[in-house]
Amino acid sequence: MSQRLKLEVEAVDAVEGRDLVIFAAEGLSLARVAESLAGDGAVALVARAAAAESFKAKAFSALAMPSPAGAGYERLIVVGIGPAGERAMLDFVKLGGAVAGRLTGGRHADIVLALPEGPVEPAQAADLALGLALRSYRFDRYKTKTKDKETAEPLKATLRVENPGAVKKAVKQADALAGGVLLARELVNEPPNVLYPEEFADRARKLEKLGVEVEILDEKDLKKIGMRALLGVGQGSRRESRVAVMRWNGAGKHDQPVAFVGKGVTFDTGGISLKPGAGMEDMKGDMAGAACVTGLMQALAGRKAKVNAIGVIGLVENMPDGNAQRPGDIVASLSGQTIEIINTDAEGRLVLADVLWYTQERFKPRFMIDLATLTGAILVALAQEHAGLFTNSDELAERLSAAGTATGETVWRMPLGKAYDKMIDSKFADMKNSAGRHAGSITAAQFLQRHVNDVPWAHLDIAGTGMGAKDSEINRSWGPGWGVRLLDRLVRDHYEG
């Protein structure tokens, strides 16, 4: 699990930690095994504390109290799971996050994973373990002040279950997924003077230790290939651009791969079309799409997914020096189509245009999904509640929507159409890179679609979900690692085996 969590799985036969976590349904109903381990007097103690604190055992609520006299632990933590009639809808990932939020670093907790109606399934235990790992993550490596023990020490927990063998196997899969999400969070949170294109590429190369084949294309390679649209974005920076190609071969040699493409603008000033200064520091997160793809590739490799997967990320820095791209310039993309630059702050679509074309031509994938913090307009439309989904495939739309509902990383389908496509026609080139304010997210997606042939394709605009995340049961990080769980679930449900 994460560096902040030390997790073990053992049988329900002992209490060794300083904290004991048990679950209560509405009406303060407890599992018999939880009552037994909590000790004599625990049921009455919980009832008194609940009455004093108006604790109703609503899902994800919690109540902490000193242990009964003579118990073999110090603190009893009761976490609510709501009414029995809603048990089928209980989100065990969030439940794990709620538990982690009540634990203290450096202390050891026993978590009795049993409900009043019986033991949990291994998959539910794995989801709870995932929630524990995600909630325990913090990004504080650049803080130099002495940390107190609670924040400096990892959480230590033991899942007490009736079937430890099966649960250990399921938790191992969850561990791989957690690792992918936390890698994505780490990348988004890093400052731009640390994580620039070359450094990002080097971190992607570290996936080789998991069996991922990684190829890094430098500027010489990109010029030879013809990625002029991507190179144009980065030409104002002293940091050279890169493209990282990651391949996980978990299926048959001749099985058609699935492909994921990420926008990796490691810092976006807007270029010559300079952004306002207020809030520009957040543009270190303009590579959240590339972070998601990298985290996904780690997750797939870590759990040895039975799929052939391609991850391709375009890594650039958009800066305004004397060599920077100008509004009015015309560049030719890898597809051969020409692009009039209207606004140098509409740069992500230029990066993706070349990388999408390259991916479909080289790998002939079963589908392509790109992720990008592409437009502020998607925030106007959907806030931070959903990512915008644009696609040429109804099947892909349905599968992504279902995966979003299952994981909580939800998407909302937006329209594409000829009228919107006409808005990016240019007087001087085949297309322009910006159509202005109206329908900004849609016209950006139309631009990308012009660089996709007949392959099923989906574009996820994650400007509202990929960075600046709101606090939740499973995340207290600015960079949420959004999309890793969504796409892992898509692959797991439809493209493995």
* Selected catalytic residue, list 87, 102, 275, 413: 275
Q: How far apart are the first and last CA of the chain?
A: 26
* Selected catalytic residue, list 349, 450, 476, 489: 349
Q: Is the dihedral of CA 215, 221, 222, 225 positive or negative?
A: negative
β-strand pairing of 431-432 with 338-340: parallel
Distance CA 15, CA 150 (A): 22
**208-232 b/e (C-beta count within 10 Å ≥ 16 → b):** eebebebebbebeebeebbbbbbbb
- Concatenating the DSSP letter of every residue in 196-229 gives -HHHHHHHHHGGGGGT-EEEEE-HHHHHHHT-HH
Please indicate whether residue 399 is annotated as part of the active site: no
Q: Is the dihedral of CA 197, 135, 129, 480 positive or negative?
A: negative
- For residue 33, the SS3 value is helix
Do 73 and 14 touch, CB atoms closer than 8 A?
no
**DSSP class of 140:** -
- For residue 122, the SS3 value is helix
Please indicate whether residue 275 is annotated as part of the active site: yes
Sheet of 308-318: strand order equals: 213-217, 242-249, 308-318, 258-268, 368-372, 457-461, 387-391, 411-413
Distance CA 348, CA 24 (A): 48
Tell me the catalytic residues.
Answer: 275, 349
